[in-house]
Amino acid sequence: MTKKILLVDDSPASRLASRMVLGRMHNYELISACDGKEGIETAIREHPDLILMDIEMPRMTGLEACRLLKQNDATRTIPIVLLTTRGEKSNVAQGYASGCSDFLLKPINEQKLTTVIRALLGESQHSER
């Protein structure tokens, strides 16, 4: 069964890199949004199985969007992985306080991203073979 992943990132280069990584993984449909506000609208409309969200974006940050998604009955159970170039402890703490399921540093490590996605979606490591 195909799982839907919403990628929310204002950087076209980051979206392309994530598309390339996720494109190598089977059974995923990738949809995207360009900022936190659009990400919330897309999540409510599309009901993705998982959200990958950058933190630093215009109009609404990933932290704000994560908090709002976790307060909404329609989206509160969707796992959210926050992505950032800033790995300071305070940023990580803010991320978890906003309700995220996991936190990954950019540039994204493909193996770590794959492991986190599969764990959050309840899939085994051998499901694509």
Mind giving me the DSSP string for 69-110?
HHHSTTTTTS-EEEEES---HHHHHHHHHTT-SEEEESSPPH
| Residue 94 domain-assigned (yes or no) | yes
Say if 125 falls within a structural domain: no
Determine the pLDDT at residue 68. 98
The pTM assigned to this predicted structure is 0.92
Domain that includes residue 18, residue range:
3-120
Q: Residue 13: its pLDDT value, please?
A: 87
Q: β-strand 50-54 against 102-105: which pairing, if any?
A: unpaired
Percentage of the chain beyond pLDDT 90 is: 64
Question: Per-residue b/e over 64-94, b at no fewer than 16 CB within 10 Å?
Answer: bbbbbbeeeeebeebbbbbbbeeeeeebbeb
87 inside domain: yes
When comparing pLDDT for 125 and 6, which is higher? 6
Is 129 part of any domain?
A: no
What total of structural domains would you count in the chain? 1
Residue 52: inside a domain:
yes
Confidence of residue 92 (pLDDT cuts 50, 70, 90): confident
Q: Considering the domain boundaries, does residue 128 fall inside one?
A: no
Query: How many residues belong to the chain?
Result: 129
Could you tell me if residue 40 is inside a domain?
A: yes
Residue 126 lies in a domain: no
Q: What is the pLDDT of residue 125?
A: 55
CATH of the domain at 12: 3.40.50.2300
